Amino acid sequence: MSFCTDIKNELAELKTRDCCKTALIYGFALFGRSFNSKRICLQTENEKTAKSYALLLSSVYDVDVDIRRGGGKHPTFIAEVTSEFDRLKILASVDFGIYDGSIYREIFYRECCKSSFVRGAFLACGHLSDPDKSYRVDFYIKNEDLAKEFSLFLSEHLIDSHISKCGNGFRVYIKKNEMIVNLMAFMGASTVSLQYIEASVIKSFNNKSNRAINCDNANINRTVKASLKQRKAIEYLIKNERLESLPQELKSVAELRMENPELSLKQLANVSKEPITVSGLNHRLKRIMDIYEEVKK
């Protein structure tokens, strides 16, 4: 199962306080598919979301809500108020305007009601990517004014988001990991939020250790290449009978290198019988290379 399914399952099953019920319905209505006299319905890929929407409407307004299953490989669930009488009954009792592209804030009695509103919005039009793929939450919103207003609303609760065009509508998206965690906490998804944090920590740890391994490999390559060049030079000097005429300290370093082709300078300095620093060793090997270049000429 994906994180998106997990978080929707958790959010759909959260208990809703009485003060929050209207705000939650408002979130569903404003960001869902239809909420008017012709049609009141929510379409979702998440079965629990459809069920919780249906239960909420029927318990608050005492109406019938049908749930249908559609789609093939990726099933969708449609929760719909099919009776016109019931739709009018709902619309007569809601005191929020739906299509004006702004958020009607009077219905938020407390902070918890704002969280419930965002929860309804996420359940209606939100998507969370798995953290091993990308850090991303998207809300698909029909009109630009509402997208802007919603983005502003999120920012008032310390959740930074951006807006982009998407098909016929707009997308309010959140890309920063910590902002996604803020959003989940704000909506009350504590279980999934912890799992998400855990998964993203593992991801960043894996990235770091991959970088470290790549770095080690690069170092090993450098060591091997340098050693190869030095040994080629030393072999050349031996072949041309020039090694014997070198000062003793260079001769012993040349021997050390030939005996230990695989070692880095630091390791070479460690195995040297006479005490020598890495930079001293480096300096001597460089002198050997210079002499080699001279002899080759």
Measured distance CA(180)–CA(3) in Å, rounded? 12
CB of 31 to Zn ion, least distance (A): 18
Instruction: Point out which span in 51-59, 110-118, 121-129, 276-284 binds Zn ion (CB under 5 A).
Output: 110-118
Chosen residue from 30, 41, 113, 125 binding Zn ion by CB under 5 A: 113
**Which of 185, 187, 24, 20 lies closest to 110, judged by CA?**
20
Instruction: Point out which span in 59-67, 109-117, 194-202, 209-217 binds Zn ion (CB under 5 A).
Output: 109-117
Instruction: Point out which span in 26-34, 103-111, 126-134, 183-191 binds Zn ion (CB under 5 A).
Output: 103-111
Residue 110 contacts Zn ion per CB under 5 A: yes
Residue 267 three-state SS: helix
Residue 11 contacts Zn ion per CB under 5 A: no
Phi then psi for residue 45, to 5 deg, are: -85, -5
Residue 20 contacts Zn ion per CB under 5 A: yes
Residue 14 contacts Zn ion per CB under 5 A: no
Residue matched to tokens 């049609």:
39
Angle CA(139)–CA(146)–CA(34) in degrees, nearest 5? 75
- Asked whether the CA dihedral 203, 188, 41, 27 is positive or negative, the reply is negative
User: Do 110 and 13 contact (CB within 8 A), yes or no?
Assistant: no
- The partner residues of 76 in beta bridges, in order of sequence, read 70
Q: How many residues bind Zn ion (CB under 5 A)?
A: 6
Residue 112 contacts Zn ion per CB under 5 A: yes
Residue 283 contacts Zn ion per CB under 5 A: no
CB of 91 to Zn ion, least distance (A): 22
Closest to Zn ion by CB, 183 vs 269, is: 183
CB of 151 to Zn ion, least distance (A): 22
Q: What is the CA radius of gyration of the chain?
A: 34
Per-residue tokens: 200? 């993203």
Instruction: Point out which span in 54-62, 111-119, 247-255, 286-294 binds Zn ion (CB under 5 A).
Output: 111-119
Residues found near Zn ion in the complex (CB under 5 A): 17, 19-20, 110, 112-113
